[in-house]
Structure 1
Amino acid sequence: MRVTSKGQVTIPKHIRDHLGIKPGSDVEFVREADKVRLVAGNGATSREDRVKRFRDSLQRMVGTIDTGGMDGKEYVDWLRGPHEDLDLD
């Protein structure tokens, strides 16, 4: 993919379709270390599409953290560590 003299590139159709980008849609470029991500901006997709993508992302994360059998509160307490040194009064 080449950048034109005006700094423009063509977003491939399969990516536009996947993100729900249509003419007039807003997009964002997000810098991450040595990469840049293209993100569909507000209004680029329907609420249902955004919810589906969010749920799909959450589903991909299932099982990626080993809580050692702890429930949510126990795990968060473990992450925070001991706090005997804090003056909580």
Structure 2
Amino acid sequence: MGEHTRKVGDRGQVTIPKELRDRRGIEGGDEIEFVELDDKILLKPPTDTERLAEGYRKRADRSRRLTEEMEETSSEATERLGDAPDWSE
């Protein structure tokens, strides 16, 4: 976290630094929520259902790719080493 200073324009407008917009996924046209907390004003992008769903889709894709990689690695190990021994008695 760092501090960023911006000047407020005559009409109350402030530009959110690009670094923060990029890191938080804020794009032109997005709505920003203003939250007053003690002596601070917090800005936060509201969590909309589409953004949340996109995050879940990305996580599912990563999990699917990891599963495929593990299955491939497991198959390669079985080909080279044979089936795992049966340890049950």
- Kindly indicate whether structure 1 or structure 2 has the higher relative contact order, using CA contacts under 8 Å at least 6 residues apart: 1
Q: Which TM-score applies when normalising by structure 1?
A: 0.48
Whichever of the two has the greater Rg, that structure is: 2
